[in-house]
Chains A and B, each alone.
Chain A
Amino acid sequence: MNEGSTFPDDTFPDDRALLAELGRVVDDIDAPPDDLVARIQFALALEDLDVEVAQWERSGELAGVRSTDQDTVTFTVRDLTVMINLTKIGKSYRIDGWLVPAGQYEVEVRVAGHDSSSTIADDVGRFVLHEVPRGTTQIVVHVGVDSSRRTVVTPAVVL
């Protein structure tokens, strides 16, 4: 390649020049994803924003691969773990999920541009959602009952 000639000694005589170049490179190489702002705005379009945010867990192999034919994703918040298994069926997904610890909580799946679908987990914490459209997705779990009810949401990801 260009042996040493890419940066002659006087390429960056002053900090300002280097900083300007670095700014451009960071903007080029590591700008936020184009759809991130739209996803945040979707994630925020909840009726009630009094929510706790869960963390998606991704193992090394899963990172970057969010839409294979079959995928298991886990997310956690404080005292609740939700594991979901996605099965691609045609243009949509079936979601099989487990709540740990188990509870008969309402689980809602929001997909941008579609009506949200919801179900109640059974007494061992399992739930199934059929024909969930693919796209920017956020999962909402209403934990507990009545006065102790709280809402846990995930960041919106493209599934």
Chain B
Amino acid sequence: MTDARTAEANPPWEGLRGHELYAACMHEARMGNRQAMDRLVTELTPLVWQVARGNGLDRHSAEDVVQTVWLVLFRHLDQLVDPKALAAWLITTTRREAQRVGSRKQLPVPLTDELAETVPSTQPAPEAEVIRADRDRQLWNAFAQLPQRCQELLRLTVLAGRAEYRLVADALRMPHGSIGPTRGRCLQSMRDLLETQGGSV
């Protein structure tokens, strides 16, 4: 108990980031440290979530797939030797799981009321809030109309600060140099969609 408390106060991964953080946590997790597992889950669940959603799963299915991916990871942690491969492994496994689940029931991802309601209403002035909510809705709808591959790429590169560009390319099996141009085309499609729907909202 004392040990656990000490570890909690000053875990070996304290202050680390990126691959160094993953390496330290994976090492500890292999030795049975549950806090190290929890740390990885906290750090990388947003990435796994975006991949699941970017592959066309509704939110409930995405929740289940995200959990499945983590359970599979910790079952096979010994086989994943290189901490640098962790994020790519998560992306690849999530895509595979998402496709497996998605092939059983093909659902589009429209802006449902469920989603619309999750838009937080923390803006100061109601007027500004309405305008912003309108904007957000238009952006979201344009985004939702993009081809799935665009949606996935944009979701992943929007998170680029956290997930690296290179591993996004690897996981999507795209040449590194084509990420930028492909993303540019996706954004242009989005602009076109915004323009055509502009007057109809």
- Using CB atoms, name the residue of chain B closest to A2: B134
Q: In the complex, which of the residues A3, A21, A64 contacts B199, with contact meaning CB atoms closer than 8 Å?
A: A3
Q: Does B143 contact A (CB under 8 A)?
A: yes
The reply to whether A155 and B34 contact each other, CB–CB distance below 8 Å, is no
Q: Which residues of A contact B (CB under 8 A)?
A: 1-4, 6-7, 9, 12, 15, 18-19, 21-23, 25-26, 28-33, 36-37, 39-41, 43-45, 49-51, 53, 55-56, 58, 63-64, 153, 155-157
CA distance A43 to B114 in the complex (A): 25
The reply to whether A1 and B134 contact each other, CB–CB distance below 8 Å, is yes
Interface membership of chain B positions 15-51, coded 1 if the CB is closer than 8 angstroms to chain A and 0 otherwise? 0000000000000000000100110011001100110
Q: Does B163 contact A (CB under 8 A)?
A: no
- Which residues in A have their C-beta under 8 angstroms from that of B71? 43-44, 49, 51, 53, 153, 155
- A-B pair number, CB within 8 angstroms: 130
- Which residues in B have their C-beta under 8 angstroms from that of A7? 135, 138, 194-195, 198
- Which residues in A have their C-beta under 8 angstroms from that of B72? 53
B4-12, B80-88, B153-161, B166-174: which lies at the A interface? B153-161
Interface size of B by CB at 8 A reads 55
The reply to whether B66 and A36 contact each other, CB–CB distance below 8 Å, is yes
The reply to whether B75 and A25 contact each other, CB–CB distance below 8 Å, is no
The reply to whether B118 and A40 contact each other, CB–CB distance below 8 Å, is no
- Which residues in A have their C-beta under 8 angstroms from that of B155? 26
Q: In the complex, which of the residues A2, A30, A40 contacts B45, with contact meaning CB atoms closer than 8 Å?
A: A40
- Which residues in B have their C-beta under 8 angstroms from that of A56? 64
Interface membership of chain B positions 49-73, coded 1 if the CB is closer than 8 angstroms to chain A and 0 otherwise? 1100100001111011011101110
The reply to whether B37 and A1 contact each other, CB–CB distance below 8 Å, is no
Nearest CB of A to B99, in Å: 13
